[in-house]
Structure 1
Amino acid sequence: MSSHQFELAQNPTDAISAVKFAPNSPDRLLVSSWDRHVYLYKTKGEPGGELIRKYEHRAPVLDVCFGKDDNEAFSCGLDQDVRRIDLETGEQTVLSSHDAGVRNVIYSPEHNILISGSWDSSLHIHNLENSTAVPATIPLPSKPFSLSLTATKLVVAMASRAVNIYDLTSLATMIGQSATTTPPNIVEVEPWQRRESSMKYMTRAVACMPNDAGYASSSIEGRVAVEWFDPSPESQARKYAFKCHRNSVEGQDIVYPVNALAFHPIHGTFASGGGDGVVALWDGVAKRRIRQYQKFPASVSCISFSSDGRYMAVGVSPGFEDGKEDLSDGVVKVFIRELADNEAAGRKQK
């Protein structure tokens, strides 16, 4: 199979905050936008895919994810609410409200819990088995910037270069035990591990390895770090960080933020997307770049791989690194790339 790339025909009208493929359908894609909408696309079929439906919100939407199946979604944003969306009927239900904008929402199928991270420096843990329970609020030491999880771990990357890693099983158990119908349900939870980012500058994104072994994180200063969960000295000695998304212009190093990270679900390699409009594929174990794609027309804001690993969605939007104060007239597009066989394979698999 050869690679093939196209852009969606009906794009959002303002900056794209997230792109997420469905857990079971490799051609079903959710896109959230600052234009106050969540978009549902079928990426196959018509030229440029097909916009199935739009779901309007009260304020810019900062994140979206699928739930237990391809017809359930969750969203969050500047209206401070965490919502469930029935993608078939369009019905929206507010599950909880934070005290500030909500940056991330993420679903754990293994534990049927939904986790939201807000700039009010808290997590809300929603027990979806119990619709009457008030979500548990876990205080954080600082604002969360990015969340990612595996079957057993939740990684929370925050301001002040702090990283908390939670054990999901004990988290889900504790939430079940603390279930109450009376707010506020504040639960003090000790993380499984507390870490400090390997990078000197603010964390922009975090993404967990599909094999549950560790995670990658990126910074505003053109670097990516790769780390392992295993706390043994041998495993911790393997962690490293590297420079990327940089250009040399007339002898001067221009450094861009690394806005997006996503692991390939089959090969375990990962993609990074930067303010330079570039997406690169990396083999984190072999410590090498596999390939770098042709530059996109604007800053890369988000990346997602389909569950079968055949497709990569790339959201591009104008970024402040373009040197513009007004970002309203820039390019806003979603690109879908159909990957060739072994295009994302690491060294061992080729």
Structure 2
Amino acid sequence: MALFGQAAAPASTSSTTGDTSKDVEVPAGQVPSDSISDLQFSPTNDFLAVGSWDKKVYIYEVGNNGAVGKWMFECQGHVLGLGWSKDGTRIAAGDSTGMLNIVDFRTAPASGTVPAQQAKAHESGIKCVRWFQTGGKDYVATGSWDKTVKFWDLQGAEPVGTLQCQERVYSMDVKDQLLVIATAERHIHMVNLTNPTTIYKTITSPLNLNFSFKCHRQPDPTARETAKVYSVNAISFHPQHGTFSTAGSDGTFHFWDKDAKHRLKGYPEVGGSIVATGFSKDGNIFAYAVSYDWSKGYGGNTAQYPIKIKLHPILGEECKPRPGSKKR
């Protein structure tokens, strides 16, 4: 899929400064009314799911002319994390009350508000939701601030397994039969999903000690030796090239070649903090959400702060690794 049919358009490789002039914005009347917490493209269809602190999940249909609202469902708490099923027919949302919310679009109307199947899954907020398959069955994994990961087969109200983590779950992802869980205090748990209630390995992240990429920094015009450092709010990997994006509180996003340790493109400030990002299933569209991220505390949360969802068409060589880069 390409926005305005631009997939074949060339992009300059001579400059590392990117162009956002062709980015397409979701109409203002169709965006959430509060800060955006997560966004996820469907793995099979041209749908983009967006979760918000307004306790709603919005599903947009993405086409050549941008994105239009298709479905919406409400949760009991602030939406913290989203996850699509592997076949793209269902979506799960975790909220701040510990409720797991699931919608099956195979039985949904053509558009409009749809009800979610809801279950009390955790004692605290659900930060992460991921689907996986094992033994020919679909399961949902939920990671919570109550320091547990629970596994659900969607057949009953009780989990089929519970994994006790060392700390609050902040991030989680699945690749084939591997589940990786990142928690507070820099713990990283690895789980073999054929034996999901046992932690296979735990390491402590060294990322407070070293880093490969200096990003989201700006020189301080009043102090030559000082740089303003902004938080990195979102990291997304390109599904084809293995390159990745970073986006942050400074309102910029960048594409990186991890193997060459090189920035491919950096883009100008977009008018507010970027809080969530994602690539479409074919890697031709990069979506980013702009809203307040609380990086400046309560005082920075004003009614005038923008809430935007924008779609950036990936053109030419923007996300391709440098020639000669060796994959790790």
Normalised by the length of structure 1, the TM-score is 0.78
Match of 1:344 in 2: 319
Contact 2:74 2:116 in 1 (8 A): no
- Are residues 91 and 325 of structure 1, via their aligned partners in 2, closer, same or farther at CA, if it must alter by over 3 Å? same
2:40 to 20, 37, 48: 20
Match of 2:18 in 1: none
Identity %: 27
SS, match of residue 44 in structure 2: coil
Match of 1:126 in 2: 152
Q: State how far apart, in whole Å, the 2-side matches of 1:13 and 1:120 are.
A: 28
Q: What value does the CA root-mean-square deviation take over the aligned residues?
A: 2.2
- Are residues 112 and 328 of structure 1, via their aligned partners in 2, closer, same or farther at CA, if it must alter by over 3 Å? farther
Unaligned stretches of 5+ residues in structure 1: 172-186, 202-224, 226-239
Contact 2:35 2:53 in 1 (8 A): yes
Deviation, 1:349, is 7.7
Paired AA for residue 315 in structure 2:
A
Deviation, 1:58, is 1.7
- RCO comparison, higher one (Cα < 8 Å, 6+): 2
Match of 1:142 in 2: 167
- Are residues 266 and 323 of structure 1, via their aligned partners in 2, closer, same or farther at CA, if it must alter by over 3 Å? same
SS, match of residue 99 in structure 1: coil
Normalised by the length of structure 2, the TM-score is 0.83
Match of 1:155 in 2: 180
1:14-93 → structure 2 map (5 Å cutoff): 14-25=34-45, 27-44=46-63, 48-87=66-105, 88-89=108-109, 90-93=114-117
Contact 2:119 2:157 in 1 (8 A): no
Deviation, 1:145, is 0.8
Q: State how far apart, in whole Å, the 2-side matches of 1:291 and 1:320 are.
A: 26
User: Does residue 103 of structure 1 match 2:127?
Assistant: yes
Report Cα offsets for 1:153-201 as digits up to 9, x if no partner: 2111111111111122332xxxxxxxxxxxxxxx5x2x22211112228
- Are residues 163 and 19 of structure 1, via their aligned partners in 2, closer, same or farther at CA, if it must alter by over 3 Å? same
User: Does residue 94 of structure 1 match 2:113?
Assistant: no
Paired AA for residue 262 in structure 2:
R
Contact 2:74 2:115 in 1 (8 A): no
Paired AA for residue 182 in structure 2:
A
1:239-318 → structure 2 map (5 Å cutoff): 241-250=212-221, 251=224, 252-318=226-292
Contact 1:28 1:43 in 2 (8 A): yes
Deviation, 1:295, is 1.4
User: Does residue 195 of structure 1 match 2:221?
Assistant: no
SS, match of residue 325 in structure 1: helix
- How many residues were matched structurally? 293
Q: State how far apart, in whole Å, the 1-side matches of 2:302 and 2:146 are.
A: 27
Report Cα offsets for 1:33-73 as digits up to 9, x if no partner: 0011000101225x542111211122211111211433311
1:116 to 142, 147, 152: 142
Contact 1:259 1:302 in 2 (8 A): yes
Deviation, 1:29, is 0.6
Report Cα offsets for 1:200-258 as digits up to 9, x if no partner: 28xxxxxxxxxxxxxxxxxxxxxxx7xxxxxxxxxxxxxx5332211111222111111
Q: State how far apart, in whole Å, the 2-side matches of 1:264 and 1:81 are.
A: 30
- Are residues 323 and 34 of structure 1, via their aligned partners in 2, closer, same or farther at CA, if it must alter by over 3 Å? closer
Unaligned stretches of 5+ residues in structure 2: 1-7, 12-21
